[in-house]
Amino acid sequence: MSHLEPLGSRLNVVVFGATGGIGRAFVEALQADPAVENVLACSRSVFHAVDEKVDVASVSFGDEDSIIAAAQWRQDEPLDLVIVATGLLHSDQMRPEKSWQELDADNLFETFKVNTIGPALIAKHFLPRLRKDGPSVFAALSARVGSISDNQLGGWHGYRVSKAALIC
């Protein structure tokens, strides 16, 4: 039984952020799904494919050419589903702001690069690859805290605004 039946069968699916917690879980679920024929697992750091259904591509948001190269995958066939599961809340160099007084231009730029600009560049190069003669889906993971209706606590300003911008 496939959860992807509405999209049809023999599906070609792309996952960005395949090394992340959610992205890896998507790849594992997709490789086990009988409706899926091929998966492209895209990541910045090395992703080790464990199934012959899964191809890998190295993609970094600082390098648009790497996104263009990934968009050549199975270029004679339409894509049925593209999932963007990349994201940045904190890293070794930065932590989420607890107050607006902690706002930092470099951290804001990096957060927007990963959470907003990267997914937009993926849309630029992958939307034209989606199936046109049937249903297809492009999905990018936002966050509940990027919603105006969940904005009571404050903090995490860069993450929140970058996720709100992603929705736009």
Cα 111-29-74 angle, rounded to 5 deg: 75
The answer to the question of residue 66 lying near ligand NAP (CB under 6 A) is no
The verdict on 7 binding ligand NAP (CB under 6 A) reads no
| Contact mark string toward ligand NAP, 123..162, x via CB under 6 A | ------------------x-x-------------------
Stretch that binds ligand NAP, among 5-13, 84-92, 101-109, 124-132 (CB under 6 A): 84-92
Helix (H, G, I), strand (E, B) or coil at 140: strand
Residue 2 dihedral angles phi and psi, to the nearest 5°: -110, 140
Strand partners, 57: 42
Q: Angle at Cα 23 formed by Cα 80 and Cα 132, nearest 5°?
A: 10
CA proximity to 16, closest of 159, 141, 143, 156 = 141
Instruction: Find the binding residues for ligand NAP in span 9-48 (CB under 6 A).
Output: 17, 19-23, 43-45
Which residues of the shown chain bind ligand NAP in the complex (CB under 6 A)? 17, 19-23, 43-45, 60-61, 85-88, 114, 118, 141, 143
